[in-house]
Amino acid sequence: MNLFDVYPLYPITPVKAVDCTIYDDKGTEYSDLYSGHGVISIGHAHPYYLAKVKEQLDNLNFYSNAIQNPLQVELAAKLGKMSGLTDYNLFLCSSGAEANENALKVASFHTNKSRVIAFHNSFHGRTSAAVAVTDNKKIVAPINAQQVVTFLPLNQFELVEAELQKGDVCAVIIEGIQGVGGVDQGTTEFFQALEKACKAHDVVLILDEVQSGYGRSGKFFAFQHHGINADIITTAKGMGNGFPIGGVLISPKFKASHGLLGTTFGGSHLACAAGIAVLDVMEKENLIANTNKISSYFMEAIKQIPEVIKVKGRGLMLGIEFDFDVSALRKKLIIEKHIFTGGANNKNVLRILPPLTITTEAIDAFIVALKESLAELKA
């Protein structure tokens, strides 16, 4: 059997990774400024994390739901404390798409409506059955997301308000900071207007923090930069430092009932051990403070590069915008300078999403490599 060929691949075969460094099968060292789409939060193969996961592996602890798992309770308590959302409830699942699907389901059940508002250049996971309609509170049928999602431009609140007034919207879903779209974000004014309008129209505000969460923005969740509350927050990527785990943080205004949501793999002992280890390390090593420190350093250092039009994003979720397609630059950085960076749907944006443990030395090395690469591409 061959692989279903959906990803363009660089000719690199990683065999080992430690903190912010990746080693390939030829022994070449790469600096990781991308973390596999922002998945690595506490650094590759962190020893405390490995020990916690291994403890569960050694116990053959693969069971998930329908049995009591104290690690789920521990993870929820730690996540509540670190995010400040102590009164929210946690539903555990295995990916960002699954977290968003479940968030949309809760919104649909709660409002008995099905239309969703999302924004241009957003990405909420690859799912075609994002919303389940309800009839007398029972699931009738999944509806293809394309049929029920209305996409609007970011930061144009009047357009959102006009849609909400139609009375058929169950949820507004928005990323704290857009990821693959190109690292754009809502203004504080826009987020605050959304929160207010969602309340007024009894529409559920879902913050997709799958990529922007877990300290990456310089606060635990990116929406917390805007002084708002969300009804539901979804998270995944950095939550497990590479182990597949997702979470839906649900405000206490939503009542749980047995069978409302479900999952096979979500909340396993292994996933919870990974999730707990991530939070322990984030706290012990002050990784949110490091994120802010390195982000400021990066913003200063990047001023040395005149080709940069602007730097978008916050914390260590950054998009460097140029006035040309960055594909060749990105290829040069990885193949010749041995630095992983990311691309975006906006072809002029180079994405920087390193582990939150990254150092100023790694940023300095990136700036040198970027200068050299730009000069070489011009020559």
* Residues engaged in binding ligand PLP (CB under 6 A): 37, 95-97, 100, 123-125, 175, 179-180, 208, 210-211, 236
Q: Could you tell me if 115 and 169 are in contact, meaning their C-beta atoms sit under 8 angstroms apart?
A: yes
Q: How many Å apart are CA 82 and CA 282, to the nearest integer?
A: 9
Q: Using CB atoms, what's the residue nearest to ligand PLP?
A: 96
Smallest distance from ligand PLP to CB 124, Å: 5
Report helix, strand or coil for 275: helix
Q: Could you tell me if 205 and 230 are in contact, meaning their C-beta atoms sit under 8 angstroms apart?
A: yes
Closest CB to ligand PLP among residues 32, 175: 175
Closest CB to ligand PLP among residues 207, 358: 207
Closest CB to ligand PLP among residues 245, 277: 245
Closest CB to ligand PLP among residues 163, 175: 175
Closest CB to ligand PLP among residues 104, 374: 104
Smallest distance from ligand PLP to CB 142, Å: 17
Smallest distance from ligand PLP to CB 231, Å: 17
Closest CB to ligand PLP among residues 109, 123: 123
Burial-class residue 66 by CB neighbours within 10 Å (0-12, 13-18, 19+). Answer: exposed
Smallest distance from ligand PLP to CB 275, Å: 14
Smallest distance from ligand PLP to CB 248, Å: 12
Backbone region of residue 262 per phi and psi (left: phi > 0; alpha: psi in -120 to 50; beta: other values): beta
Q: In what helix (H) or strand (E) does residue 282 lie, and over which residues does it extend? A: helix 269-284
Q: Could you tell me if 111 and 170 are in contact, meaning their C-beta atoms sit under 8 angstroms apart?
A: yes
Exposure string of 220-235, with b = 16+ CB inside 10 Å and e = fewer, is: bbbbbbbebebbbbbb
Smallest distance from ligand PLP to CB 115, Å: 19
Burial-class residue 208 by CB neighbours within 10 Å (0-12, 13-18, 19+). Answer: buried
Q: How many Å apart are CA 94 and CA 69, to the nearest integer?
A: 16
